[in-house]
Chains A and B, each alone.
Chain A
């Protein structure tokens, strides 16, 4: 049996280190919600899951005399660093609640603070072991870094809204205008398209960010299931193009609402637009996946 064909051992240092990292980040989240560690939590989970999916054993680095496992003093140092982080975060913003904005902290500082929860993991293994792991699992690490930076960046989306809301409103107006007369556009932080029968206000919930959230989960599931059959470069490209396609699909969804809502279906639109929106995003994902699925899979010759 070659190393590539072997199953990863439950006692392997990589698995132990990553599982400890995951458990510590989850504990951080519970102990100090203001750390906002959701994306590091998901990134670590995906790293563990993808390494498991790959199923290979990491060769132990020869340069590391103590590379046989995770030593006790390293775990103690790791726990101490996490405890310090939690106490610092609690002392810094003791009254902040999840789901609300921390206005007293710089958002960039907050983001940096969020990523610091991954730093203690460096103490779990010697640098040579981490280098060997990154070299061996470069695709898996790259995927987890993508998740770390793109998983529901709510604060970035909120910051983009004043600009993006206007762009979306103008774009929807442009596409709807040939079909609805008269159609007006009211410029506001939540732009409104005024029609003869139905006015449509584009709120944050209509931004398409929820569609990207659904796309993230579904695409992540596809990646997890097919990891060993995927062309990694094409998959990365398909991920970013898919996110953009969901935003475009969302604009079309609002165009349909404006057009059909002003042609006798206003009651239906008003009643079902939220649930129909989710179905629309799901359908948009499936159409997109049907187009790119064969393309992102490895061909037999590449295998």
Chain B
């Protein structure tokens, strides 16, 4: 139950992103009915941010493990 609530809270943290998404281009070319192929700057920055965050998390977990075993 604790984990379910925690996941629900984490899902709730996406509320600001959901709101932002409503006001952004949906990536759909309505005239030609095709998706845009290019990735916009926000998406590119998001990918970079995600990769950097994963690297940081992995580094922290390794550091934590080394500290615990020292």
Contacts and interface: CB of A to CB of B under 8 A. Distances in A.
Interface in A231-260: none
Interface in B28-52: 44-45, 48-49, 51-52
Given A23-B12, A26-B12, A97-B23, A286 B67 contact: no
Contact of B20 (A48, A99, A281, A294): A99
Interface in A81-112: 97-99
Interface residues of B, number: 30
Interface of A: 10, 19, 22-23, 26, 29-30, 33, 37-38, 41-42, 45, 48-49, 52, 97-99, 210, 213-214, 217-218, 221-222, 225-226, 274-275, 277-279, 281-283, 285-286, 289-290, 293-294, 297
Given A19-B9, A45-B10, A289-B60, 13 more contacts: A10-B1, A22-B12, A29-B19, A52-B2, A98-B20, A218-B53, A218-B57, A221-B60, A274-B48, A275-B44, A275-B51, A281-B52, A285-B59
26 contacts: A19-B5, A22-B12, A29-B19, A30-B15, A30-B18, A38-B16, A41-B13, A41-B15, A41-B16, A42-B13, A48-B9, A49-B9, A52-B2, A52-B6, A97-B23, A98-B20, A210-B49, A214-B49, A218-B57, A274-B44, A275-B51, A279-B51, A283-B55, A285-B59, A293-B63, A293-B64
Nearest to A38: B16
B27 interface: no
Interface of B: 1-2, 5-6, 9-10, 12-13, 15-16, 18-20, 23-24, 44-45, 48-49, 51-53, 55-57, 59-60, 63-64, 67
A93 B15 CA distance: 20
B16 A29 contact: yes
A19 B2 CA distance: 12
A294 B70 CA distance: 11
A286 B62 CA distance: 10
A227 to B, nearest CB: 13
A278 B12 contact: no
A274 B45 contact: yes
Contacts, number: 97
B65 to A, nearest CB: 12
B24 to A, nearest CB: 8
Contacts of A274: 44-45, 48
B56 A218 contact: yes
B9 A278 contact: no
Contacts of B23: 97-99
Nearest to B59: A286
A41 B55 contact: no
Contacts of B18: 30
A47 to B, nearest CB: 11
Nearest to B23: A97
Contacts of A278: 48-49, 51-52
B2 A10 contact: yes
